């Protein structure tokens, strides 16, 4: 089940909202959240629902245990147990086949399983909770229902943001619902839906066509259009989902951290990772990078640590060599920036760096990320490097077919995010506009327009999964 699915929007959500808000009045908030979240997860992952339930139980107990026995060995044991389902479902087949286990053997078939939706997200949240308790930054929650409601809370369950308990426990402990917060949630939710349905899905048509082209048909034009369209698609898809999650959270009185802050307006890769999937970057910073010694190590060790963090970030996205390469690729640029600019890499002075450096690097990175394998990635990247080759601007008919007027318009509109300069994300500004006299009516009109557009797009289209579900 996804947020843009008509079943979610027009059946699950109204019932869930009505029941959970009513149950909150009856002091049954956590139970109702858990019930609806488990229903939501059941229709997203099926019988592997047990992975979520087990994760809740293990991390809840783990928090209480490490609070009582602050031992690295105990912590390690709990973390290993927490990571086991993720390692098995996501990585066992990849590692086994790379170690020579035939995919069609008994062992290979055993490990070739479908990844439970969102397992990377809720496992990381559970780990952050246990580690935070271990570090003394958080008191273990003794209320299993409250903790279960946090970890299973459906708005953030399967595609983030990766919400740490210490960021939201206040909202779970006390009911912070209000008309303003609810309205802000509606505005943000509808904004996210429009990003997904109008821009990401249309750009996705072009992306799929370009990346289905093979061999010599991959020209400079195919590679360029495909990579630019994917740059748009993945941003609007994922940030749109985050907007929806944040919006839904607010409707239930929970304030999630921001996950995107205009990433394509960065001027360096270092800055990009402070704006892209912020909650994931923060997780790796706080639980991997700092654990490896942080900044207080020798420069050589620092660079190695950075590469480790980015390889881990890459492989978090999926069990494939393309993700490993993508992580290394970003890690290499981070290291180079660190060598050249030191801490200044976080915000370079010159705007033009965004266009001559950041965007080209990110765009090539997305090719690696999107390609089915490294050979396909190389085909597209090498085509991108040959703008003056014969037939460089040829487009196969399949790509032409995808370049419909509506898909082109939507993608071009999405390209605004590549060139604009702004102070804050539009979603945040819209939320703030709810309480500002000068902006409240424009925000209202925009939201009502969104209702109409989303209803048309959602009711008239078939199933369209979010990109980040595969992670």
Partner 1 sequence: MRILTIILFCIWLIVPAASLFVFDRNETIGNKPVKTLANAKARLLSGDAENLEYVMDAIFERSAVTFQAIRAKNALLFYGFRHIDTDDLVSGRDRWLYYKPQFMLSECEPGYYDRQIEVAANGAAVFAAMADVVGTRVIYSLSPNKVRVQPEGVDRRVLAYAGCQAQNEEALDRIFAEFMPEAIFHYRVMPKDAAPPQGYFFRNNTHWNFVGFTNAMYQLKHAIEAPAEPYTPPVLDVSETKVERRSMSTTSNMLLLDMNEKGPLFETPPFAPSSPDWPIKVDGLAVVVHDSFYAFYPELTSAFNSETKLIFRNLPSEEKRVISEFSKNPDLIVFNAVEREMLKHFDGPWGARGVYFEPILDLVMARARRECDFRNIPRLREIDWQGGASTAGDEITAEKNFPDFLVQLPETDGEVCLRISYSAEAARAVDILLPPLANQNTDALWSFGRFFSVPGTKGDNTIVLILPQDMRANQIRVRPQIRESESISNLDVRTLVLP
328 and 374 Cβ atoms separated by less than 8 Å: no
Which is nearer to partner 1, 26 or 47 (by Cβ)?
A: 47
The yes or no reply on residue 340 touching partner 1 (CB under 8 A) is no
Q: How far is the CB of 445 from partner 1 (least distance, A)?
A: 10
Residues 21-50 that bind partner 1 (CB under 8 A): 42-44, 46-47, 49
Q: How far is the CB of 257 from partner 1 (least distance, A)?
A: 24
Question: Residues 457, 466, 468, 471: which binds partner 1 (CB under 8 A)?
Answer: 457
Q: Residue 360: name the closest of 418, 306, 312 by CA.
A: 418
Question: Residues 66, 131, 187, 367: which binds partner 1 (CB under 8 A)?
Answer: 187
The yes or no reply on residue 183 touching partner 1 (CB under 8 A) is yes
As given in the structure block, the two tokens for residue 222 are: 């195919």
Which is nearer to partner 1, 287 or 446 (by Cβ)?
A: 446
Which is nearer to partner 1, 82 or 434 (by Cβ)?
A: 434
SS3 content of the chain, % helix, strand, coil (to 5): 75, 0, 25
Which is nearer to partner 1, 85 or 116 (by Cβ)?
A: 116
Give CA separation, 14 vs 242, 251, 256, 314, 438, in Å: 20, 12, 21, 37, 30
32 and 175 Cβ atoms separated by less than 8 Å: no
Output 184-187 pairs: Cβ under 8 A, ≥24 positions apart.
Answer: 184/247, 184/250, 184/431, 184/434, 185/246, 185/247, 185/248, 185/249, 185/250, 185/251, 185/252, 186/247, 186/251, 186/447, 187/247, 187/430, 187/431, 187/433, 187/434, 187/443, 187/446, 187/447
Which is nearer to partner 1, 166 or 440 (by Cβ)?
A: 440
Q: How far apart are CA 32 and CA 22, in angstroms?
A: 9
CB contact burial 303-340 (16+ within 10 A = b; e otherwise): bbbbbbbbbebbbbbbbbbbbbbbbebbbebbbebbee
The yes or no reply on residue 179 touching partner 1 (CB under 8 A) is yes
17 and 251 Cβ atoms separated by less than 8 Å: yes
Which is nearer to partner 1, 133 or 395 (by Cβ)?
A: 395
Residues involved in catalysis: 317
DSSP annotation string for 72-138:
HHHHHHHHHHHHHHHIIIIIIHHHHHHTT--TTSHHHHHH--PPPTTHHHHHHHHHHHHHHHHHTSS
Which is nearer to partner 1, 342 or 437 (by Cβ)?
A: 437
Total residues found in the chain within this entry: 471
87 and 58 Cβ atoms separated by less than 8 Å: no
The yes or no reply on residue 394 touching partner 1 (CB under 8 A) is no
The yes or no reply on residue 389 touching partner 1 (CB under 8 A) is no
The yes or no reply on residue 456 touching partner 1 (CB under 8 A) is yes
Which is nearer to partner 1, 14 or 360 (by Cβ)?
A: 14
Q: How far is the CB of 252 from partner 1 (least distance, A)?
A: 14
Q: How far is the CB of 299 from partner 1 (least distance, A)?
A: 48
The yes or no reply on residue 460 touching partner 1 (CB under 8 A) is yes
What is residue 139's DSSP assignment? Answer: P
The yes or no reply on residue 152 touching partner 1 (CB under 8 A) is no
Residues 222-281 that bind partner 1 (CB under 8 A): none
Question: Residues 401, 412, 416, 419: which binds partner 1 (CB under 8 A)?
Answer: 401
The yes or no reply on residue 337 touching partner 1 (CB under 8 A) is no
Q: How far apart are CA 49 and CA 46, in angstroms?
A: 6
Question: Residues 82, 119, 130, 186: which binds partner 1 (CB under 8 A)?
Answer: 186
The yes or no reply on residue 215 touching partner 1 (CB under 8 A) is no
The yes or no reply on residue 398 touching partner 1 (CB under 8 A) is yes
Question: Residues 6, 261, 338, 346: which binds partner 1 (CB under 8 A)?
Answer: 6
The yes or no reply on residue 406 touching partner 1 (CB under 8 A) is yes
Site string for partner 1, 411-450 (x = CB under 8 A): -----------------------x-----xx--x--xx--
The yes or no reply on residue 53 touching partner 1 (CB under 8 A) is no
Q: What residues contact 6, with CB distance under 8 A and at least 6 apart?
A: 458, 459
Which is nearer to partner 1, 20 or 131 (by Cβ)?
A: 20
Phi first, then psi, for residue 141 (nearest 5°) are -80, 130
Q: How far apart are CA 316 and CA 329, in angstroms?
A: 15
The yes or no reply on residue 455 touching partner 1 (CB under 8 A) is yes
Q: How far is the CB of 7 from partner 1 (least distance, A)?
A: 3
Q: How far is the CB of 43 from partner 1 (least distance, A)?
A: 5
The tokens 């843009």 sit on which residue?
Answer: 4
Q: How far is the CB of 377 from partner 1 (least distance, A)?
A: 24
Binding site for partner 1 (CB under 8 A): 1, 5-7, 9-11, 13-14, 17, 42-44, 46-47, 49, 179-180, 182-183, 186-187, 396-398, 400-401, 403-406, 409, 434, 440-441, 444, 447-448, 451, 455-463
């Amino acid at each position: 089940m996804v947020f843009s699915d008509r079943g979610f929007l027009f059946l699950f959500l109204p019932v869930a909202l009505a029941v959970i808000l009513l149950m909150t009045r009856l002091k049954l908030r956590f139970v109702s959240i858990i019930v609806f979240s488990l229903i939501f997860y059941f229709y997203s992952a099926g019988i592997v629902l047990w992975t979520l339930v087990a994760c809740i139980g293990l991390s809840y107990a783990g928090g209480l245990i490490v609070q009582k026995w602050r031992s690295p060995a105990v912590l390690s044991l709990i973390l290993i147990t927490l990571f086991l389902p993720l390692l098995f479902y996501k990585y066992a087949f990849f590692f086994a086949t790379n170690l020579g286990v035939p995919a069609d053997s008994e062992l290979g078939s055993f490990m070739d399983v479908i990844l439970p939706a969102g397992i990377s997200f809720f496992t990381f949240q559970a780990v952050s909770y246990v580690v935070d308790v271990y570090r003394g930054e958080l008191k273990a929650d003794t209320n299993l229902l409250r903790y279960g409601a946090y970890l299973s809370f459906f708005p953030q369950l399967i595609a983030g943001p990766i919400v740490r308990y210490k960021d939201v426990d206040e909202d779970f402990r006390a009911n912070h619902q209000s008309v303003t917060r609810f309205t802000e949630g509606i505005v943000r939710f509808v904004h996210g839906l429009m990003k997904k349905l109008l821009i990401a899905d249309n750009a996705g048509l072009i992306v799929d066509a370009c990346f289905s082209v093979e061999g010599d048909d991959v020209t400079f034009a195919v590679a360029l259009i495909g990579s630019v369209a994917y740059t748009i698609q993945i941003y609007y898809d994922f940030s749109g989902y985050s907007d929806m999650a944040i919006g839904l959270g607010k409707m239930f009185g929970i304030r999630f951290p921001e996950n995107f802050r205009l990433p394509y307006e960065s001027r360096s890769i270092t800055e990009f990772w402070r704006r892209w999937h912020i909650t994931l970057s923060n997780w790796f910073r706080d639980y991997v990078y700092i654990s490896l010694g942080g900044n207080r190590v020798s420069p050589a060790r620092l660079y190695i640590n950075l590469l480790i963090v980015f390889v881990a970030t890459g492989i978090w996205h999926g069990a494939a060599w393309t993700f490993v390469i993508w992580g290394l690729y970003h890690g290499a640029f981070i290291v180079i920036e660190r060598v050249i600019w030191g801490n200044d890499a976080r915000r370079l002075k010159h705007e033009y760096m965004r266009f001559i450096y950041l965007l080209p690097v990110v765009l090539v990175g997305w090719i690696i990320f999107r390609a089915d394998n490294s050979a396909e990635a190389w085909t597209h990247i090498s085509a991108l490097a040959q703008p003056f080759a014969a037939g460089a601007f040829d487009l196969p008919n399949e790509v032409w077919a995808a370049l419909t007027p509506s898909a082109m318009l939507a993608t071009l509109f999405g390209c605004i995010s590549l060139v604009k300069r702004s102070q804050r994300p539009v979603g945040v500004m819209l939320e703030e506009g709810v309480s500002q006299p000068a902006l409240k009516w424009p925000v209202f009109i925009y939201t009502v327009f969104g209702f109409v557009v989303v209803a048309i797009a959602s009711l008239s289209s078939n199933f369209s999964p979010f990109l980040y579900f595969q992670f």
